[in-house]
Structure 1
Amino acid sequence: MNEASLRPDAIFSRGPDITDELEHLVRPDVVHRRLYTDPDLFDLEMERVFGGTWCYLGHESEVPDPGCFVRRRLGRRQVLLVRTAEGGLRGLLNRCTHRGTTLVGEQRGCAHRFTCPYHGWRFDLDGRLQNLPVPDSYDRLYERPFDLGQLKVASHRGFVFATLAAEPPALEEWLGAALPWLDEHVDRYPGGKLKVVETAVKVEYGGNWKMSWDNAADGIHATFAHRSYNLIGKEAETDTVLARNPTDTPMISRTLGHGHCVVDQRPGIPDGPWSTMRPLPTTDELVGALSETGRGDRETLDLATGSMANLSLFPNLVFVGNQLMVVEPVAADRTRLTMYLTLAEDAPDEVNLIRMRVDEDFVSFGTPDDLEMFERVQDGLQVVEEEWIDISRGESAGDSVDEHGLVTGDIATEAPIRAYLEEWKRLMAKPIPTTVRRSRIEAAKFDKRLRRQRRNTETT
């Protein structure tokens, strides 16, 4: 690679191996502005990051019965998470194999089959081509790849992930050090049972998707960006955890490999998560009702709020409070965040009603602060003469590294940013072989189905 191609203002290369250029753009202490502004980089991210690794697709509670489906995106790919007639899970590309038409327009629903609105091709819930007009006009139809394209799907404790990688690592291997944190999150719910609420909160901001990732493990911004939220807590005489001096708290951040990380606020709140909650509409009455039934104990009240351990699974899922926040890139300078409230299925009704109030609280008074900061950063990055962004906080200044290379630092460290960018570089450097899987059936079975269809056509 010649020197000119390494200049910060060079047009981004789409060669098979761009390791040198990425090493230039992402350094141990700084990152180049182009990571957030370059449309060519964004296009490559949609292919290599959101196609070459496991991505969160949905939760099993969203597709409880055969025929239930939800529509999602992995990069620019529209995907359906479907519960099949046999009760299994499939990740189907939402694209008719005839002419490429988007097959399903609804965000969620239940169906016995999927029928293309353009030419009437019909597919089973497992993606197999079931019926099509004028089948005898195709030669050797059974040899054509007309079954719906599929992703590899795997589930852990109800959380469903998918990938197009031809030979991905096992899901548990990819989760790695994040696995016990995910298990701990699920185990908070009675019986380990949680439910994702169908109606999600969707917001968009004018900034790059990685800004939300930078923000997820940033322990300093809360003291400043969420000033109004903290002032409301102060007026209610509540020790809001976000209002504390980030250098004067035992809260920690940890990298977990593959770009994952966790921010554990619990060491800074010995009285438990509920102690940090200020009064919210109807919560006094709901807590009173719990107390009357003997369920007003600390463990039950702590369940009504988040765990105070924010887990981030790169590249698109963040556990924050009672929410699952899914990061959906739209363009280099536009991102959609979809926030799903979770309920504890076997908890008292009052607990889940309080969870709804807690969910509304930060979304209404905290999230807008973050979105404004993201857009301010994106605007600031339009100054092309200022090329570099600092990500050095904590490096060789308090961070500790274990034998696996995982970093633990205080709440102020930027180690999680440096760690996810290392995974980003790995995924971006070289194309990871991807493949579209299909639910194949034997040619004889397909011929039998076609003959039956032809007989039905002749009799009508």
Structure 2
Amino acid sequence: MTEHSPGDLVSPDRVAGRLYTDPEIFERELTGIFERTWVWVAHESELPEPGTFKTAHIGRQPVIVTRDRQGVLHTLLNRCRHRGASLCEKPSGRANGFTCPYHAWSYGLDGTLRGVPYPQGYDGVFDRRELSLHRVRTEVCGGMVFATLAGDGEPLADFLGEAVPWIDRFFKQGGGYPVKVLGRHRFRYRGNWKIQLENTTDGYHFPIVHRSWMASVDAETADMMSFMTDPAAVTHDLGNGHSVMRMVPGHSDLDVDDGSEPLPSRFAGIAAELSQTLDPATVRKLVRAMHGTGFNLNLFPNVSLSSSFLRVLRPVAVDETEIEHIAIGPDGPPELDVVNRERLRIHEHFQGPFGFGTPDDAEGWDRVQRGVRAAPDMAILVNRGMARQATDPRGLPTSHVTDETGMRAAYGEWKRMMSDA
């Protein structure tokens, strides 16, 4: 049991290690954060047509995200209203509705209770209109589908705030085409969810943890990611726990292109193949975006738009977290297949289960969890760059890309939400 209130455990420049190890704090996070705020559950491309669905979680609560026959998106608690059995165990697919395997109560794609076997036993007992699946409030921004268990909370656009234009910029990497999910893989690490939350806008670790990856790529890619001493590479606190780390400022907005930047020579063959059917401007957009955008966007509490992929975290236990890495690419004519094959290979090289990046990151996260068991009230420092942090023209707290601005943003929102939970 914790002897501290959350407000005692988070300061502007440090947090107690107990935040990673205390089971009581973890349980309070599930109700005080994940069940009170907007949580990412899907990308619209995963639900392309009526009748498509995917399963997800809001904290530990299982949900089904569906597109009904009218094309409307719904998020439904994955729990039969009869005796509580889960309705769907598949990660995604197509369906006309959902039928409980226990007693065969059936529901429509919008959650409406459609059928009850042997209904005469319920005559005069209930009104089936009152026993639809629990619908979770759902909104979309830039193709990103979010849901919240807080029915009376703020609109999604207000919660995302300054992050909205960055979401729009991220999905410009389709090169003028819509963006779709290409593939995914899941894994778990033996550590608290906040350890990963810190990672996506932690530029300080990159050349240390990922030096093997830096040594494995071509010189052009390595040079592009050598941002440690670039004064233009900065991190912004976007408010509400969100932050963006601009590693390659010249690629922050892929629509801004004066044509002077040479295209990476490693993609010359792809450019030549695309040029057989596509105009030069489109080819340039697609090839220039092959590595994704020049930034990592952290959206509190559970999803990151990281350069060229999505990273989704799910808290499982105080010392266990599930991560899903989602590769994306342009959704268009068959000519784009060559682009998406290459994007998948790039993704596998860094984020894949046998890539250079994911194992190195996961080892670091595991070691943090092991280490904080020693003196759990000893401080975890998030003070790097505080003395040089300033306010940018938009009023956003800003410091160098190697500073811990993003972590301070996330813990500020954590403290606010946990203090009034």
TM-score with structure 2 length normalisation? 0.90
Say if 2:79 is the partner of 1:98: no
Give distance in 1, aligned partners of 2:377 and 2:240.
30
Retained in 2: the 8 A contact 1:223–1:245? Answer: no
8 Å CA contact retained: 2:209, 2:360: yes
Task: Please tell me whether the aligned partners of residues 29 and 418 of structure 2 are also in contact (alpha carbons under 8 angstroms).
Answer: yes
1:222–1:243 contact (8 Å) kept in structure 2: no
259-268 or 88-97: which moved more? 259-268
One-letter code aligned to 1:394: G
Aligned counterparts of 2:39 and 2:178: Cα–Cα separation in 1:
22
Deviation for aligned residue 1:74 = 1.0
* Map of 1:417 onto structure 2: 407
Aligned match for 1:56, one of 37, 40, 49: 40
Report whether the alignment pairs 1:306 with 2:292: yes
Structure 1 residue matching 2:241: 3-state secondary structure: coil
Give me the whole-angstrom Cα distance separating, in 2, the residues matched to 1:382 and 1:242: 38
Question: Which residue in the other structure is 1:374 paired with?
Answer: 365
Q: Paired residue for 2:391, among 386, 389, 401?
A: 401
The CA deviation string for residues 129-183 of structure 1, in whole angstroms up to 9 with x for no partner, is: 1111232323341178421011100112221110011311111111100011111
Q: What aligned pairs does 1:83-162 form with structure 2 within 5 A after superposition?
A: 83-138=67-122, 139-142=124-127, 145-162=130-147
Cα shift at 1:191: 4.3
CA–CA distance in 1 between the matches of 2:223 and 2:200?
A: 15
In structure 2, list runs of 5 or more residues that go unmatched. Answer: 252-256
- 1:183 corresponds in structure 2 to 168
Larger CA deviation: 263-272 vs 204-213: 263-272
For residues 291-340 of structure 1, the C-alpha deviation after alignment (integer angstroms, 9 at most, x for no partner) is 55564954331122211111111111111132111111111111111111
Based on CA coordinates, which of the two structures has the bigger radius of gyration? 1
Secondary structure at the counterpart of residue 35 of structure 2: helix
CA pair 159-386 structure 1, distance change in 2 beyond 3 A: closer
Paired residue for 2:247, among 247, 252, 265?
265
The answer on 1:246 being equivalent to 2:231 is: no
Once the two structures are TM-superposed, the CA of residue 373 in structure 1 deviates from its matched residue by 0.5
Quick check: 1:257–1:419 contact (8 Å CA) kept in 2? yes
Aligned residues of 2:137 and 2:148 also touching (Cα < 8 A): yes
SS in 1 for 2:385: coil
- Distance in 1 separating the partners of 2:177 and 2:321: 32
Question: Are 1:194 and 2:179 counterparts?
Answer: yes
**1:323 paired to 2:309:** yes
| 2:175–2:285 Cα contact (<8 Å) kept | no
Give distance in 2, aligned partners of 1:322 and 1:275. 20
Report what 1:430 is aligned to.
Answer: 420
Mapped to 1, the partners of 2:381 and 2:262 lie a distance apart of 35
Question: 1:126, CA displacement in angstroms?
Answer: 0.9
Secondary structure of the corresponding residue to residue 200 of structure 1: strand
* Structure 1 residues 357-388: Cα deviation after superposition (integer angstroms, max 9, x where no partner): 22112111112111111011111111126621
State whether structure 2 residue 345 is matched by structure 1 residue 360.
Answer: no
The verdict on how the C-alpha distance between 1:316 and 1:268 changes in structure 2, with shifts beyond 3 A counting, is: same
CA shift for structure 1 position 22: 1.5
| SS at structure 2 position matched to 1:421 | helix
Alignment of 1:342 onto 2:338: no
Question: Following the alignment from structure 1 to structure 2, what is the Cα–Cα distance between the partners of residues 386 and 54?
Answer: 30
Structure 2 distance, partners of 1:143, 1:128, is 9
> Conserved in 2, the CA contact under 8 Å of 1:190 and 1:345?
no
Aligned-residue offset at 1:30: 1.2
Query: 2:254 aligns to what?
Result: none
Partners of 1:179 and 1:303 lie apart in 2 by 20
- Pairwise CA distance, 1:405: 5.8
Map of 1:214-253 to 2, 5 A cutoff? 214-233=198-217, 236-241=218-223, 244=226, 246-253=228-235
The 8 Å contact of residues 225 and 247 in structure 2, kept in 1 or not, is answered as no
C-alpha displacement of 1:109:
1.2
Q: Deviations over 1:49-78 (max 9, x none)?
A: 111001111011111122111000111100
In 2: Cα distance, 1:211 partner to 1:40 partner:
17
- SS at 2:2 equivalent: coil
Aligned amino acid, residue 212 of structure 1: Q
Q: Give the Cα separation in 2 of the matches to 1:278 and 1:220.
A: 28
Please give the TM-score of this superposition, normalised by the length of structure 1. Answer: 0.82
Shift in alpha-carbon separation, 1:239–1:355, aligned structure 2, 3 A: closer
Deviation at 1:238, TM superposition (A): 3.2
Report the residue type matching 2:69 in the other structure.
Answer: A
Mark the CA change 1:355 to 1:388 in structure 2 (over 3 Å): closer, same or farther: same
C-alpha contact 2:20 2:194 (8 A) present in aligned 1: yes
Q: 1:178 to 1:94 in 2, by over 3 A?
A: same
Instruction: Confirm or deny: 8 A CA contact 1:247 1:411 kept in the other structure.
Output: no
TM-superposed deviation, 1:286? 2.6
Query: Do the aligned partners of residues 428 and 100 (structure 1) sit closer, same or farther apart at CA in structure 2, a change above 3 Å counting?
Result: same
Q: Does the aligned pair in 2 maintain the 1:191–1:346 contact within 8 Å?
A: no
Deviation at 1:237, TM superposition (A): 3.0
Contact 1:241 1:276 in 2 (8 A): no
Secondary structure of the residue aligned to 2:15 is strand
Structure 1 residues 421 and 122, CA gap change in structure 2 (3 angstroms): same
Residue 119 of structure 1 aligns to a residue whose secondary structure is coil
Counterpart-to-counterpart distance in 2, 1:69 and 1:127:
12
CA distance in 1, matches of 2:286, 2:376: 54
Q: Which segment is superposed worse, 200-209 or 142-151?
A: 142-151
Measure how far apart 1:207 and its partner are.
0.9
| 3-state secondary structure, aligned to 1:81 | strand
Give the 5 Å matches for 1:13-32.
Answer: 21-32=5-16
Asked whether the equivalents of residues 174 and 286 of structure 2 are also in contact (C-alpha less than 8 Å), the reply is: no
- Residues in 2 aligned to 1:230 and 1:266: alpha-carbon distance in whole angstroms: 15
Aligned counterparts of 1:278 and 1:91: Cα–Cα separation in 2: 44
Residue number in structure 2 paired with 1:74: 58
- Structure 1 residue 342, shift from structure 2 partner: 1.0
Mark the CA change 1:385 to 1:143 in structure 2 (over 3 Å): closer, same or farther.
closer
CA RMSD in angstroms comes to 2.6
Q: Distance in 2 between matches of 1:241 and 1:75?
A: 39
